[in-house]
Amino acid sequence: MRILIVGAAGNGRTEASVARAARQLGHEAQVLDALGWRRRLGALAPWWLRWQADAFAPELVLCTRHAVSVGLEHLPGLLRRRRSAFWYFDAPSPLPEPVARLATLVDQAFATYGYQRDAFLALGARGAQFLPQGADPVLDTPAESAPAGWQCELSFVGSGQYPRRHPILAAFARACRLQVRGPQWDNVPEGVPVVGGAVRGREFARAVRGAAVSLGVDALEAQRQERSGGTSNRLWRVLACGGVFLGEAVEGLEQFVRDGEHAVFYRTVEDGVARLRELLADEGLRRRLASAGRAQVMARHTYADRLELLLQGRGYTST
C-alpha cells in the first residue's frame, strides 16, 4: 500500500516514526511536510502540497494535526477519492476547532486518549477509535552512555508551559536530585530545577540513560478523566530506551503495562515520592523493571503494532 502521511517532517517527529513503521510492514510511505511548506510558501503552499500528493498517488492519506496547514478548505480536494484517516496525539479538552473539523473530513479518526475518541464520536466522526502511540525501534533504543552532567536520580523531559506540572515537579525536587529538560521553561517556577532546553533525537535516550528513574507528569487536568489507558508517549519511549518509568496512574493503563512489573505508577504526589524512594534504594528492582518494560514495549507496543490496527480500521482493545 502507498501511504502518504500529511503533517510535519523531521527524523524525530511522530510522522517519521509512522513512516518507518509502514515500511517495516512492507508498505511504501512518504511524509508530506504540510507545516514546513506552509511556513515556506504561505498562501501558495496548498497547491504545491496537492501536486506532491497527486504525484505520489497514495492509497491511504494519514493525517496528523499538522495536516491543517494544508488549509481546511483545501484538504477535501487532497483527500478526494482516497481512503483517509486522522491520528490525533494530543490531550486538550475540549478539542481545538481545527482538530474537530479535520476529524469530520476524513473517513476515520483515531485518538490516543479514550476521552478524545468519545469527543470525536460526539462530533459525528463515525467509527472513531482509541489508538495509543507507541515506540519507534529505530529512534527509541538504549543509549550506551550519558554525559556526566546528565547523571541524576530523577529526570523529567517535557514542556514547561503547563502550570499543573510545576508544584508536582517541585515536590519531587525536594526529595531527590531531579533534572528537568524541555522547551518553554522561560519563567522557571521556584523549586523546579530546569537544567536544559528542548531534547531532540537521541538526546532523549541519553536523558533516560543518565537517570536512575524517569518521571511522567500529565500536562493537563483533562488527562485525569482518562478511562481507557491513554497516556503520553513518554511511557513507551522511556521503556523502549531501557529506562525505569515512574508515572501518574491512569485507569485502563494496566492493559498495556503492569504496575510493579513493567513500570511504577503513583496516585498522589506523596505516593509518588514514597515509590521513588523505594526505587532509588533497590538497584535490582530497577534492573528488573527496565528489562521487563523494554521487552513488553518491543513485543507489543511499537508504531508497527499500532499501524497494523489502523490499517484494519481497528482501535486498541487488549494486549
Q: What is the pLDDT of residues 72-85, one digit of tens each?
A: 999 999 999 999 99
Kind plus residue range of the DSSP H or E element containing 8? none
Residue-level pLDDT at 317: 80
Together in a domain, 247 and 280:
yes
Q: How far apart are CA 291 and CA 195, in angstroms?
A: 28
Together in a domain, 175 and 124:
no
Together in a domain, 18 and 52:
yes
Q: Give the residue ranges of DSSP H helices in the chain.
A: 14-24, 34-41, 45-56, 75-79, 97-105, 114-123, 165-175, 203-210, 234-240, 269-281, 283-300, 303-311
Together in a domain, 205 and 92:
no
The residue written with cell numbers 501518574 in the block is 248
318 has pLDDT over 80: no
Together in a domain, 164 and 63:
no
Single out the residue in 103, 131, 159 at which a domain terminates. Answer: 131
- 12 located within any domain: yes
Beta-carbon count within 10 A of 187 CB:
7
Residue 45 is placed in which grid cell? Answer: 503552499
- 137 located within any domain: no
Together in a domain, 81 and 109:
yes
Greatest C-alpha distance within the chain: 59
Residue 37 is placed in which grid cell? Answer: 511548506
Residue-level pLDDT at 123: 95
As a whole number, mean pLDDT of residues 162-179 equals: 98
Together in a domain, 152 and 296:
yes
Work out the angle at residue 114's Cα, subtended by the Cα atoms of residues 66 and 165, and round it to the nearest 5 degrees.
Answer: 75
Q: What is the pTM of this model?
A: 0.95
The count of structural domains within the chain is 2
Q: What pLDDT, in 10s, does the model give residues 125-168?
A: 989 999 999 999 999 999 999 999 999 999 999 999 999 999 99
As a whole number, mean pLDDT of residues 196-217 equals: 97
Coil, strand or helix at 239: helix
Q: Give the residue ranges of DSSP H helices in 32-96.
A: 34-41, 45-56, 75-79
Backbone angles phi, psi at 267, to 5 degrees: -105, -25
Confidence of residue 189 (pLDDT cuts 50, 70, 90): confident
Q: What order do you get walking across the sheet with 178-181 strand by strand?
A: 194-196, 178-181, 152-157, 211-215, 245-248, 264-266
Together in a domain, 86 and 173:
no
Together in a domain, 287 and 168:
yes
- 311 located within any domain: no
Backbone angles phi, psi at 3, to 5 degrees: -115, 120
CATH assignment at residue 261? 3.40.50.2000
Say if residue 94 is preceded by a cis peptide, omega within 30 of 0: yes
Q: What would the DSSP string read from start to end of 161-210?
A: --TTHHHHHHHHHHHS-EEEE-S--SSPPTT--EEE----TTHHHHHHHH
Q: Which of 243, 212, 257, 239 is nearest to 298 (CA)?
A: 239
- Domain region containing 217: 148-300
Kindly list the distances between the CA atom of residue 313 and the CA atoms of 60, 109, 224, in Å, as whole numbers in the listed order.
Answer: 12, 9, 27
Burial of 235 (0-12, 13-18, 19+ CB in 10 A): buried
Q: Which residues pair with 28 in a beta bridge?
A: 2
Residue-level pLDDT at 187: 85
Together in a domain, 83 and 207:
no
Together in a domain, 186 and 296:
yes
Together in a domain, 12 and 87:
yes
CATH assignment at residue 69? 3.40.50.11930
- 120 located within any domain: yes
What is the amino acid identity at position 192? Answer: V
Q: How far apart are CA 232 and CA 149, in angstroms?
A: 26
Beta-carbon count within 10 A of 83 CB:
17
Kindly report which listed range (121-125, 185-189, 190-194) carries the lowest average pLDDT score: 185-189
